[in-house]
Structure 1
Amino acid sequence: MQKRIFSKKAFSCQFSKEFIFASKQNRVEQMQSFLITHPYLVFQYDYYNMTALHWACKLGYLDMVRMLLHYHADFDAIDLMNRTPLSIAIAENHQEMVKLLLTHGAYPWSTNLTDLNGPLQLNAEMKKIVGQARKIQLFTKWSRLKQPTLCIY
């Protein structure tokens, strides 16, 4: 039998429903227990293509976001509405969460699918935070630093 970590179907792995449900309820300890024994769950998603990280960003669960990033959650995953965890955190005005995602390497630019500029126009402080991350990313790219360090706190 072949194990598949990345599936094309929602809730495709054992415990994935329980894992996503726990993320919506801010059950950090339960999620950590799941991840210790089944680390692939961090990549699972629901019928909206929302991962546990999407839900934690939407609901403002900062400690959960920290834990999911520790387990290498995909901070650039896109849901059915073409939102990333970063774009959700921006829209929900979770500044510390946005800083945390950017520090871990979330892509601070709009793409063909994800528009960050719309929500940023509504929030000057958030626009400043993302603007700093963009400048740092450009600087590290131009300077060809091997290990870029992003500190926007």
Structure 2
Amino acid sequence: MTYRNDQKELMDFDNRYSRCARQRRLREIIQFLLKKSKELQISLQDLIDNKITQNKPYQQQGSFAFLFYVKKGVTDKVEEMLGVNPLYVHDFDEKNMTALHTATKKQSYIMIKILLSYGANVLSKDLNGESALSHAIQSNQQDIVKLFLSIQCPNDLEYLNYSKMAKNKQIKWLLKNAKLQELRIRCSKLTQFNISNNLL
């Protein structure tokens, strides 16, 4: 009789364990998607529909031509292609460089503005682990750094790396001001949260 009870208990344990494992895996997937959607600054639904995540270089048809036009600085063709398919802005080449990386390396301010208007991801990294902002800092492109920081490019994770890499004093000053402004915004949100909790 005890054998049956033990067997039933083991089956219950197996069911509970597999349910807990599925729930844990689901939580991990949800956390990954939320982090990715925040990083890419896109809606969670677009990410779930797999509209933006690319796995291979030149994955979409027309990606090669799009990145070629960005490299050559042909703004009218780039705008025309983005008008047809705005998701080209997220494509990358074999070095994992997006169109924004390429435009930053070419120092094409107008091209960068076009790409940002179509939602280019400022935080995407190439094979060397560098973002478009870090490329702009390394090559002392003050106007482009100012543009990236004006759209409130999140830089808190790598602020120290960015400030170490900046050799230009004006760029260091821009980075410091952006960090201070971000801290002010965080503090004001925290203060508002505390005030609203105290009222309740």
Q: What TM-score, normalized to structure 1?
A: 0.86
Letter in 1 for 2:154: Y
Query: Structure 2: how far apart are the matches of 1:27 and 1:105?
Result: 27
State the SS of the aligned residue for 1:63. Answer: helix
Query: Structure 2: how far apart are the matches of 1:97 and 1:138?
Result: 22
Equivalent runs, 1:1-153 vs 2, <5 Å? 4-111=51-158, 115-120=161-166, 122-144=167-189
State the SS of the aligned residue for 1:98. Answer: helix
Letter in 2 for 1:115: N
Partners of 1:19 and 1:31 within 8 A in 2: yes
Query: Structure 2: how far apart are the matches of 1:26 and 1:56?
Result: 8
Query: Structure 2: how far apart are the matches of 1:9 and 1:119?
Result: 30
Instruction: Give the C-alpha shift of residue 58 in structure 1.
Output: 1.1
Partners of 1:110 and 1:116 within 8 A in 2: no
State the SS of the aligned residue for 1:60. Answer: coil
| Corresponding residue for residue 151 of structure 1 | none
| Corresponding residue for residue 8 of structure 2 | none
Name the one with the larger helix percent. 2
Q: What TM-score, normalized to structure 2?
A: 0.67
Paired residue total = 143
Instruction: Give the C-alpha shift of residue 59 in structure 1.
Output: 1.1
Letter in 1 for 2:176: G
Instruction: Give the C-alpha shift of residue 3 in structure 1.
Output: 7.0
State the SS of the aligned residue for 2:103. Answer: helix
Unpaired segments of 5 or more residues in structure 2? 1-48, 193-200
Computed over aligned residues only, the root mean square deviation of the Cα atoms, in angstroms, reads 2.1
Query: Structure 2: how far apart are the matches of 1:115 and 1:19?
Result: 31
Unpaired segments of 5 or more residues in structure 1? 147-153
Instruction: Give the C-alpha shift of residue 107 in structure 1.
Output: 2.1
